[in-house]
Amino acid sequence: MTLEAGKCPNGHVSYPTHPRCPDCGEPQEETLNLAEKTGEVVTWTTSTATPPGVRQPNTMAIVEFDVDGQAVRALGQVTTDDVETGDEVEPVYVEELRDPEAGIRVPESMSWDGYRWEPV
């Protein structure tokens, strides 16, 4: 799994990537790796009623990255329940964001890896 933003020839950046830029419609020709950046928590919440296979409680945050001078936001799980708005975080790769055996799909048909936000 990658954590990439897309960039079009006009310089617009968006996450996730799209075949065409949401701002101008040009093809997104460049990808930028957000996994190598730190971001700031814009807002967060903790869910205590999670879907099957998702840890409980599950703290999620919207994180804003500065990418080429543009704000790009991404939603993801936080590695700890101790997070505040304004905290600096970095993406950390995890092999399983949820238990593959707890879902309704065949585990082999899905990708279970991804990124969580770790306070710096």
Instruction: Give the SS3 label for residue 24.
Output: coil
Of 20-34, 64-78, 98-112, where does mean pLDDT reach its minimum?
Answer: 98-112
- Number of domains composing the chain: 1
Q: How far is CA 116 from CA 7, 10, 89, 97, 102, in A?
A: 23, 30, 9, 8, 20
Q: Quick check: 115 and 33 in contact, CB under 8 A?
A: no
| 52-81 residue pLDDT tens | 888 899 999 999 999 989 999 999 999 999
| 75-101 residue pLDDT tens | 999 999 999 999 999 999 999 888 877
Cis peptide before 119 (omega within 30 of 0): no
Q: Name the residue range of residue 22's domain.
A: 4-119
DSSP 80-118: -S---TT-EEEEEEES-SS-GGGSSS-GGGS---EEEEE
